Amino acid sequence: MFHNCLIASIRSYFYFNWYKLAEAHNNLAYTLRKQGPENYKAALTHYNKAIYLDSKLPEPYMYRGVLYVQMGDKKRALEDHQTLVEMGSPLAVELEYVVKNNREKAPEQFFGVSEKL
């Protein structure tokens, strides 16, 4: 019994750390992407790393899809959209908007973010 609990604890610990590392790569990629086209290649590398670390995390697919649109590669953006649809993520709707309109929503339209902070 103790052995099974120990193994479960170890798995939980490592999953949590992989998840946090995936989030960190996603956040870094987002920041790089927002800094402009000269950072797109680096951003793509970090989105890919985030997905490699946690393929069930929807945010890297969403924002990598946005990056693909910004890079003019709608085919790959649609592949990420399809992945989000298969995951059942509400981010699929957001990425669909970006693909159709060639731009992200204004912050106040995205997930109800308010202009007033």
Identify the helix (H) or strand (E) that includes residue 85: helix 74-87
Please give the Cα distance from 63 to 26 (Å, whole number).
Answer: 8
CA-closest candidate to residue 70, choices 109, 25, 30, 113:
30
* pTM for the structure as a whole: 0.79
pLDDT digits (tens, 9 = 90+) for 9-31: 545 555 556 678 999 999 999 99
Please give the Cα distance from 99 to 12 (Å, whole number).
Answer: 36
What CATH code is assigned to 2-109? 1.25.40.10
- State both tokens at 63: 């924002």
Break the chain into its structural domains and give their ranges.
2-109
- State both tokens at 43: 């951003």
pLDDT digits (tens, 9 = 90+) for 63-72: 999 999 999 9
Q: Residues 4, 15: contact at Cβ < 8 Å?
A: no
> In which residue are the tokens 């490699």 written?
52
pLDDT digits (tens, 9 = 90+) for 71-109: 999 999 999 999 999 999 999 999 999 999 999 887 655
Q: What is the gyration radius of the CA atoms in the chain, in angstroms? A: 16
